[in-house]
Amino acid sequence: MAKHDYPYKKSVNVTAWILQILVCIVLLAASAWLLWISEQQDLDDLLGDYNGIFTASAGLQIGITGLNIVMNVVEIILISQKRMPPGLFLTSACIKTGIWGIIFILNAIAHSALSIILTIVLFASSLTQLIHAAIIVHRKRRGTLTGGNYAPAVNPQGFEEGVYAQPAPGYYYPPPTNTEYKSPAASPPPPQYGNPAGDVYAPQVPAGSYELDSRARNL
């Protein structure tokens, strides 16, 4: 399995894990105790037709809190071993935020003060993880995230494919080379010097010819 050493913040995750596990243990214990009470005593006279709903809701809450604890344990193991991909972390945070958001709304409708306090802690901590995971995934898609298997390419020339980048401040760029056009035709020979004194002689014109426009023509 590939390594995913992404910058997961301990201040966000550790705080969220501790709060979620503690609150889930409280809810898990309360739900188990209610189920035990319902088995030991006949609550039909007290709850009437709601006895089945009461038992089902307690069992459902046990399942949800157990799932949250398992997801937190998986996150702890994968992040500690640097094997947590950002997409999986974002998915886990979305699931927890959605579940506890729905339960918080239901508790608010039921006007259960203690349940509202506990579920708002779970919802707020899950939402914090969701925001943190969304930032990591967004930076990874933009290519500005350091860590994991991705590393932005370093281009000292300041160029990208098909795009000219401005020189970075403080970076020295050598001056451009000479781009003067040179004809492939042979260059004319240099003027000839006649003697060591440096006298320059004009080219010899054959006898019987005249010179016009620097070209010799026969008479």
Say what the pLDDT of residue 189 is. Answer: 59
Q: Which is more confident, 197 or 109? A: 109
pLDDT attached to residue 169: 52
Q: Is 152 a domain residue? A: no
- Whether residue 117 has pLDDT greater than 50: yes
Long-range contacts of 100-105 (CB under 8 A, 24+ apart): 100/68, 100/126, 101/127, 103/64
Secondary structure of the chain: what % helix, strand, coil (to 5)?
Answer: 55, 10, 35
Q: Which domain holds residue 83?
A: 10-142
Which pTM was predicted? Answer: 0.61
Token code pair at residue 107: 């508790």
- pLDDT for the residue numbered 203: 55
What is residue 193's DSSP assignment? B
- Per residue in 193-207, pLDDT (tens digit) is 555 554 555 555 555
The tens digit of pLDDT for each residue in 137-178 reads 988 888 876 654 444 445 545 444 444 445 555 545 555 555
The pLDDT of residue 66 is 94
Residue 151 lies in a domain: no
Mean pLDDT along residues 11-31: 94
In 86-219, DSSP assigns E strands to 159-160, 163-164, 209-212, 215-218
Query: Does residue 105 form part of some domain?
Result: yes
The answer to the question of residue 157 being in a domain is no
What is the count of structural domains for the chain? 1
pLDDT in tens, 83-96: 898 899 999 999 99
Rounded CA separation 26/57 (Å): 16
Answer whether residue 153 is part of any domain. Answer: no
In a domain, 57, yes or no: yes
Integer-rounded Cα radius of gyration of the chain: 41
